[in-house]
Amino acid sequence: MTETTISELKIIVFQLKNKEYAIPVTQVRSIEKMQHITRVPGVAQYIKGVINLRGLVTPIIDLGYRFGLAEAEMTDSTRIIIAVLNDSEVGLIVDAANDVLDIQTETIEPPPEIIGGNEDEYVNGVVKIGKRLLILLDLEKVIKIANMIEV
């Protein structure tokens, strides 16, 4: 009798406009409340600036604006997800951080041809959970294309 291993992935689910996105927990250092962002001249418009977080200067990307979904409206539920890639940190402004979920990797489907936005090139796949559709982001592409981190 052979055992099949079911591979699980723990993800952080967050919201931008009316869509739910997800990235692996292993790529998240923390989730912070919105705080003062210092503007940096001469950077792309979706880069809001930098914050000093526990002694580290961290660049901040408005993820919604990056995807062409319009600039984020700051509310009480707005969060900055501090993501880590290759020992570098970047903050992602999101409308809300919703859940931490365990998903089975075999439930990840390839992205449809057109999801409907500029975020298509950053998508790793989609996961259906009940009536929810979660868009799994390729964080490396989001950050690499932002020309902020050498990957």
Q: In 3D, which of 37, 88, 38, 94 has the Cα closest to residue 65? A: 94
Provide the pLDDT confidence category of residue 148 given band limits of 50, 70 and 90.
very low
Q: Which two tokens stand for residue 72?
A: 């984020």
pTM: 0.85
Cβ atoms < 10 Å from Cβ of 58: 20
Average pLDDT score over residue span 37-64: 91
For residue 1, what pLDDT is reported? 45
Provide the pLDDT confidence category of residue 64 given band limits of 50, 70 and 90.
confident
Average pLDDT, the chain: 85
Dist CA 140 CA 145 (whole Å): 8
Residue 3 lies in a domain: no
CATH number of the domain residue 96 falls in:
2.40.50.180
Residue 2 lies in a domain: no
Residue 42 lies in a domain: yes
Q: Angle at CA 13, nearest 5°, toward 10 and 15?
A: 170
Q: Is it the case that residue 133 has pLDDT exceeding 80?
A: yes
What domain range is 22 assigned to?
A: 8-145
Cβ(6)–Cβ(106) below 8 Å: yes
Of 3-12, 39-48, 75-84, the range with the lowest mean pLDDT is 3-12
Q: Which two tokens stand for residue 145?
A: 């294309």
**φ and ψ of 67, to 5 deg:** -90, 5
Residue 112 lies in a domain: yes
The amino acid at 112: P
Say how many domains are in the chain: 1
Provide the pLDDT confidence category of residue 114 given band limits of 50, 70 and 90.
low
For residue 141, what pLDDT is reported? 84
For residue 118, what pLDDT is reported? 57
